Each structure stands twice: as C-alpha cells, then as structure tokens.
C-alpha cells in the first residue's frame, strides 16, 4: 500500500488545493524517505469542515447503538492491520516497534471501550416541582469537533479523541502532527474500511503554522480537542474563546517521582528509569525529576545507573534495541540544548547525554540516556519540559521536603511515590498537585476506562478517556413536558 497520502473529505481521498506535498523521513535514518503527505491550504480545511457540518445531522440522529457497531468494526480492522500500522509509526517517529504495536492494541481497546458507551444512559429523569410534569435531561452532541493530535502517540491519542467524538454523535476533522501524517492517514483508512459514512471523519495534513488556526476559527467547528505544547495550546484557547467554541487541552508535564527510604529500591529504580526513558522520554507523562531521600540516595543512584547502562540505543525496528531515536532534528536539537543548559547551570552529568554517531547510528537522531545529579529545583532542567531521555536526581531529607519541591512547578500532570508507608501514600494522593497519582508505579501510563488529564498548566480541566469524556463531547439539554 502506498505511503504517499492524500487528504480525506466527504468519503474521498483528494489532493490538497496547494498542489504541494511534505516529505517525511525516518529519524533513525534521516536520509530515508518514509512517504509524503499533503501540504494543505486553508481552502482544504474549509472543505473538510463543510463536509463534517453536512454529515453531522444524519450521524447525530443515528442510534448510539448503531454508532457502536462502526467503532467495533474499526477495532477489529485496527487489530488486523496492527503490524502494518505499528511499523509505519516506528519509521515515522522512531520509537520501538514493540511500543507502537502496544499502542495499536491500546487503540483497539479504546475503540471497544467507547463503542460500549453507545449502550449507556445519556440523561436522567428528574423530580419536578409541578405535579404531572415530566422533567428530564439528555445529552446531545456538540457538533463538529476539530481533532489536533501530536506525533509522540500517533495512534492512541487520535483514537481517544475520535472514538468518543463519534460515539456521542459528533463528526470530526482530524489534523495529525505532520511528522506522523502517514500513520494518521492509516487510522482514517481504518474508519473508512469500517464503513463510517462520508463526512463523519475527515482528514487534513499540513503545517500547523499554515492551517492550525484556520481549523480552530472555522465557522463550522464547534469544539477543538488538542494535545501538544503549552505555547500552541494557549493560542488555541485564546482563539477558541474569541470564536465561542469549546476547547480541551492536554499539554506539558514535569512529572516527579519521590523515593523514600522505606521503598523497594530495586523496584523504584526500574520504574523510575522506565518512566524516564520509555519512548525516548517523549511522553507528557515521562518521569523527569526524582526526589530521593538522602539515606538511600547512593544505593538508589547505583541501581539507576545499572538500569540505564543496560539500555541499547538504535533503530526501533530492531528487536534488540531498547531505546529508539528522538523523533526529529528539532527534537534532537532541543534535548541537546537542555543538556548544555544543565551543565552551564551547575548540574553534574552523571551519565550519558552524548550524541551517538558511530556506525549504523551515523544518520539518525540518537542520543544516550542522560542522568543529572546535583540538580536544584530552580534549574532550567528541573523546571521546563525537555521531552527527551533526561532524568534529574534531587537529594532530599524528608517526605515533606520532597512533596513541597515536587509541587513547585507550573505543571500538574502525573506524579509517583515509592514507599511502604500507607499514611504517606494517602497523604501524597491527597496533596500531590497533579491529575494522576501513582503509588509504587511509574508516572506514565493510562487506561481507557479512567479519566486522563492534569492540573495547573498541564490541562484545560475537562478530562479525556473514561466516562469523563462525555463532558467535553456532549452538551446537556433539559426538557420539561406538561401533559395538560
């Protein structure tokens, strides 16, 4: 199947009005072209939004049970195409094939979860102050939803936005990150093969600087759901408010782990390294700061170094590799810049942080996993999201000191505590200023049935996934019927 992808509007694959394409290269072999996508113009966005608006009335009137069948079909097809889609995702953005295969299967699970939402209640009967009055609520779709997704989870994140949008009766205009536009197109092929009617799912690719604002501002779009950087997210929020649209933002994180002196040091070290280095650290839920009680600091450090030294960096398509490249030259340059800043500000580079250029690694964006110590919580590397395999180790004397520093951030996505002390675990669950708390687990991870999202500048508030998703993708309607 060709990896030269078109836009998808009103059930047809069409070239962009601009006549231009964007080439996508493999970050493990940056001279190797993976394929091309359309460099769309504002005109293309307008056509996609018009198609979604035209389709929404019919789709919204379908029974949710009927919409359920489309999502179940899509889940089956996604599973059948798992190997193909996982491979293209790895070739586009670099993370290991085992990780992209897991992401495909997670996508299928998300589709199946939201398919079952078609059987759940969409309102309730309420008591009325007026005798014989029938007083009830129902949830209705918001309309056309613009979906803007990132490159780091090119399968799961679009699906956990598109699936609830569809099951609750909305239509979609989907714009993936350009870096993973081919993977995005393959997801749309899955919905097409599942028989989703024309106009219900539409797809445009292109640079955010060219078409991003036009999707947010389009008159036919009723809501925008976005995952990405805080800078872009704040601009989307501003535009959405100005044009009267609902918006949902999932943004950055600076996720802390706290390791106390009663913790299982072996387990904590493994899970902290997993949290920091999985998917080359390119996760909004990645562990980026670890606060370690001084009495176990040295033993924990040695365990962390042992785990990190065992990481093998290389092409994510190779089975022996345990960490792939950074996703792009831009991301590589960003991570290198932060490592340099950390050294300039006085942190000690305990391990790694060097560009890998020998042999088969010579033409990719490869970097060693990086561990800093002697980090203070006011350093740039401890405050800003790096989005790479960089872990900052910070020594503390007590749980109270660790919690205070862990909370001292503009972000509030995820946090972990490693301890056997139930009292401290419960205190952490209550007082950690994040949306997702882990006790003796890594900061990353999410399940389809649970709400996903953060506090502070990590999120706009409404949660993704689980039954919480209904809050964003529907609106309440209150009905009063007097039979007299």
In a 3-state reduction of DSSP, which class is residue 228?
A: coil
H or E element in which residue 251 lies: none
Read out DSSP for 325-360? --SSHHHHHHHHHHHHHHHHTT-EEEE--PBP-SGG
Catalytic residues: 250, 284
**Whole-number Å distance between alpha carbons of 377 and 392:** 9
CB contact set of 367 (below 8 Å; sequence gap of 6+): 313, 325, 326, 332, 335, 336, 352, 353, 354, 355, 356, 388, 389
8, β-bridge pairs: 13, 203
**Whole-number Å distance between alpha carbons of 287 and 274:** 8
Are the CB atoms for 417 and 261 separated by under 8 Å? no
Burial class (CB in 10 A: 0-12, 13-18, 19+), 131: exposed
**Whole-number Å distance between alpha carbons of 119 and 125:** 17
CA 179 remoteness from chain centre: 14
Q: Give the up-direction half-sphere exposure of residue 220: CA atoms within 13 A in the CB hemisphere.
A: 20
CA 315 remoteness from chain centre: 22
Q: List C-alpha distances in Å: 127 to 25, 136, 206, 275, 480.
A: 60, 8, 51, 49, 11
248, β-bridge pairs: 225
**Whole-number Å distance between alpha carbons of 429 and 435:** 10
Q: Which of 366, 356, 389, 371 is nearest to 304 (CA)?
A: 371
Q: What are phi and psi of 179, to 5 degrees?
A: -60, -25
């Amino acid at each position: 199947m060709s990896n030269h992808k078109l836009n998808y509007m009103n059930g047809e694959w069409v070239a962009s009005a601009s006549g231009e394409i964007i080439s996508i290269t493999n970050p493990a072999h940056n001279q190797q072209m993976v394929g091309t996508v359309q460099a769309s113009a504002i005109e293309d966005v307008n056509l996609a939004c018009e198609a979604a608006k035209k389709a929404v009335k019919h789709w919204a009137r379908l029974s949710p049970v009927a919409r359920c069948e489309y999502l179940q079909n899509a889940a089956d097809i996604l599973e059948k195409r798992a190997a193909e889609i996982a491979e293209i995702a790895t070739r586009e953005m670099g993370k290991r094939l085992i990780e992209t295969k897991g992401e495909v299967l997670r996508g299928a699970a998300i589709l199946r979860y939201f398919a079952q939402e078609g059987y759940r209640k969409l309102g309730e009967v309420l008591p009325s102050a007026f005798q014989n009055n029938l007083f009830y609520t129902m949830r209705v779709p918001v309309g056309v939803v613009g979906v803007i997704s990132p490159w780091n989870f090119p399968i799961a994140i679009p699906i956990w936005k598109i699936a609830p949008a569809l099951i609750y009766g909305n239509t979609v205009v989907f714009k993936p990150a350009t870096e993973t536009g081919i993977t995005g197109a393959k997801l749309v092929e899955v919905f097409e093969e599942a028989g989703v009617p024309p106009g219900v799912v539409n797809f445009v690719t292109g640079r955010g600087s060219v078409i991003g604002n036009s999707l947010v501002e389009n008159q036919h779009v009723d809501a925008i759901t976005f995952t990405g950087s805080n800078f872009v997210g704040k601009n989307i929020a501003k535009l959405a408010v100005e044009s009267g649209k609902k918006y949902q933002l999932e943004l950055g994180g600076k996720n802390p782990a706290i390791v106390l002196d009663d913790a299982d040091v072996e387990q904590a070290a493994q899970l902290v390294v997993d949290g920091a280095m999985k998917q080359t650290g390119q996760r909004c839920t990645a562990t980026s700061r670890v606060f370690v009680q001084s009495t176990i600091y040295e033993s924990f450090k040695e365990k962390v170094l042992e785990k990190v030294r065992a990481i093998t960096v290389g092409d994510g398509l190779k089975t022996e590799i345990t960490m792939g490249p950074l996703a792009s030259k831009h991301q590589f340059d960003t991570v290198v810049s932060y490592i340099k800043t950390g050294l300039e500000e006085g942190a000690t580079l305990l391990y790694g942080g060097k560009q890998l250029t020998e042999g088969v690694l010579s033409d990719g964006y490869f970097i060693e996993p990086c561990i800093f110590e002697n980090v203070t919580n006011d350093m740039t590397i401890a405050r800003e999201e790096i989005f790479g395999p960089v872990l900052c180790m910070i020594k503390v004397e007590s749980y109270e000191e660790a919690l205070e520093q862990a909370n001292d951030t503009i972000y509030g996505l995820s946090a972990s505590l490693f301890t056997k002390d139930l009292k401290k675990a419960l205190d952490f669950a209550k007082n950690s200023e994040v949306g997702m708390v882990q006790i003796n687990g890594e900061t990353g991870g999410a399940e389809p049935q649970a709400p996903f999202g953060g506090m502070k500048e990590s999120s706009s508030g409404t949660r993704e996934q689980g039954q919480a998703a209904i809050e964003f993708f529907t609106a309440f309607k209150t009905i009063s019927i007097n039979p007299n």
